[in-house]
Structure 1
């Protein structure tokens, strides 16, 4: 299905944390539990079935990818220590970290990488994120700690693709043993491991004492499910939560006025858009699609609805994404132009249509 996209804003990442005292800021504190109040529960803990950001927050404390982004958006080693690409740009060879164990005690190696990538594209897996590995032609085990991944064609963003949480490496032993139930009892290589999961209530992660990298400072992280925006804010202000995300913009002023919390805003990757199916009427007519674009007032949405937390975008990719085309501008708000285009397309009185909304 082809779609046309009406882009009207790009979110920044916005979350709020309880402010530590000056003394607590001087040096990291070892131990303790962090309470993260989230609006939705994790839907799965199997990375190959993750389709939403809230779920990924827990999944990526348990699992890791071959490479990752650092805070400056540079791709750096993670489970792969080094890599090189062939002269024809088709084969990527990765040298893997030695001495890494999954949380079920089994070793991380080339077999695990091949199993992970083979599993996500296997029709029997039925992963909704199969396309994450769609550019991969095959994975070859060179030796215990070296893999060669061949792509269908030269693909510049391949390393960036490998940072996707859907391509996080999982334990072949655990996945084969549990099948679909791996989603409830995962085994990755990350700094935290699953302690318990009460669906609809909370996910509790405990520090992975066998982690290959720098050990986590925290003993535990609790993702507490609190669907109501106002309740999450109340828990933060009362000290019952340490961090909240999906901050309601209508309550932003109240949070910023509190001396006990810190509002953190960073550029994010999330894109808010209206997708139009240009294979069905009336959206098969470009005049109708343009009319929809001109009928939306993006600046009013950013300033009025989002309280300035967001930037206008001219593409379905956030400007923060490496390789994104910069400087594209959205269609200007022009109701008169929108009405004229609709009339020209045969809809002088407008039309009704259905829509679907997906949380990301």
Structure 2
């Protein structure tokens, strides 16, 4: 049987048959390029002397999965793997786990692990490695940016070397999907013990490439893992290069210095499509761009202020003028297009009404706010934030733009919102399923967790109750109305400033293959092969 989509998993006996259904998936060899043995060996010998270069806009803040969760996942996915993984069809498929099953009471998930897998340091991957990875995520000295999503895990028990059991509270139908997130990729316990807080600069996983070096603001490189358990890449070396300026990313694609470039500037797409030797893809995205506000103190603690500031921004003009049509307006607190996400009546662009609402809230003479930005995280980010600055000035809001490195941006956005009133942070949120997004963005248990990236402090008890109800409801038909009600309340609260839903824009050299780009925008290398 083939791997299941998320909706199908929910429908089939409350996910209890997932192990049997997905076991067949572990025998598949995706993305393989079939050749005769002699020809394949000759090709491998040549191709593994090559270097594959991937380019995006963001310098990593860390190479530890639980900490480094920004748009530089190309290098993370090259070095680390999780128990399960997403494929390009939105399916969860086996990775370091070969199967999994759910207990009758819905609280315990038991994963059967792949035997014989080695970390890059030569140690064996076992159930103890899984427990150590989760324990580290909960270590308060580790700034795990998505820790809030994993608070439902109450226990991790190794049954034997290749069987591990998770106990959750509440029961959760989406648990296998949660384990596909980058934060849950498995790390070497031995390397963590050796490097401690420096593990993020000395990463050790099980992936097809192993860490070589990190030259800050220049590149991170990894070399082929000769002991990799799966089909091996067809290049010897993988390099990730952060280039914040969109024009610079275009240059390295056109000159052949890069094999794939993500987050290409929308204005350059027509010309790049006419460039010989290249291909450009624009695909729907599960990523939204927003300004995450500090909601615990004025001015952003006031719902009418947040509504007014959303109403003061002309999303359609930004999409047309800056994004050149490669984005969609946001009419939902969820991720448009994924199961369980609902659209609502937009807070339409109305600067006069926005000005009036701000005056009614006590800001007739204006207000001062600060927006933090790391340039290059998505194509057009700086221009969009500058446009927002202009729109807000039109309603009496003076906005200061403060640019900073991504590591500093995360440290700021994960600090106590009480200490930073009147500030917002320009961030991206990519979510492949609805509960993951709603919980981390809007449940007060998650928005107030120290070190989490989305620490806005937003809190609505009714939203908390509804999210708790939907995430423990296994019947999808009963779950949908709960999801809709929760999102309807959230949408009226406007907890953050909603900018737009992105479109994935990436380009590659002709003949480049052996990878996928997920709807979240994440680049996942498999049997990488360079073009001619």
Q: What is residue 168 of structure 1 aligned with on the other side?
A: 185
Aligned partner (choices 204, 213, 220) of residue 230 of structure 2: 213
Q: What is residue 229 of structure 1 aligned with on the other side?
A: 246
What runs of 5+ residues in structure 2 fail to find an aligned partner? 1-32, 374-425, 429-532
Checking the alignment, whether the CA contact within 8 Å between 1:132 and 1:167 is kept in structure 2 is no
What displacement does 1:180 show? 2.0
Q: What is residue 266 of structure 1 aligned with on the other side?
A: 283
What displacement does 1:195 show? 2.2
Distance 1:273 1:103, change over 3 A: same
Distance 1:316 1:50, change over 3 A: farther
Q: What is residue 189 of structure 1 aligned with on the other side?
A: 206
Residues 1:81 and 2:130 are matched in the alignment: no
What displacement does 1:281 show? 2.0
Higher helix share: 2
In 2, Cα distance between equivalents of 1:227 and 1:126: 24
In 2, Cα distance between equivalents of 1:320 and 1:215: 34
What displacement does 1:291 show? 1.4
**Deviation string for 1:128-149 (max 9, x for gaps)?**
4432422210101111110110
Let me know the Cα RMSD of the aligned residues.
2.3
Checking the alignment, whether the CA contact within 8 Å between 2:334 and 2:342 is kept in structure 1 is no
Distance 1:284 1:43, change over 3 A: closer
SS of 2:183's partner is: helix
In 1, Cα distance between equivalents of 2:293 and 2:244: 29
Moved over 4 A (4+): 25-30
Aligned partner (choices 162, 171, 178) of residue 195 of structure 2: 178
What displacement does 1:201 show? 1.7
Aligned partner (choices 65, 69, 78) of residue 82 of structure 2: 65
In 2, Cα distance between equivalents of 1:284 and 1:179: 38
How many residues are treated as equivalent by the alignment? Answer: 334
Distance 1:286 1:264, change over 3 A: same
Aligned partner (choices 26, 38, 45) of residue 63 of structure 2: 45
Distance 1:339 1:247, change over 3 A: same
Distance 1:26 1:232, change over 3 A: farther
Residues 1:353 and 2:366 are matched in the alignment: no
What displacement does 1:253 show? 3.0
What displacement does 1:86 show? 1.3
What displacement does 1:329 show? 4.5
What displacement does 1:226 show? 2.9
Q: What is residue 202 of structure 1 aligned with on the other side?
A: 219
Checking the alignment, whether the CA contact within 8 Å between 2:79 and 2:208 is kept in structure 1 is yes
Q: What is residue 20 of structure 1 aligned with on the other side?
A: none
In 2, Cα distance between equivalents of 1:122 and 1:286: 34
What displacement does 1:191 show? 1.2
SS of 2:288's partner is: strand
SS of 1:112's partner is: helix
After TM superposition, the score normalised by the length of structure 1 is: 0.85
Aligned partner (choices 332, 337, 341) of residue 325 of structure 1: 341
What displacement does 1:197 show? 2.2
Distance 1:125 1:275, change over 3 A: closer
In 1, Cα distance between equivalents of 2:162 and 2:345: 46
What runs of 5+ residues in structure 1 fail to find an aligned partner? 1-24
After TM superposition, the score normalised by the length of structure 2 is: 0.59
- Larger RCO (alpha carbons 8 Å, 6+ apart): 1
Q: What is residue 160 of structure 2 aligned with on the other side?
A: 143
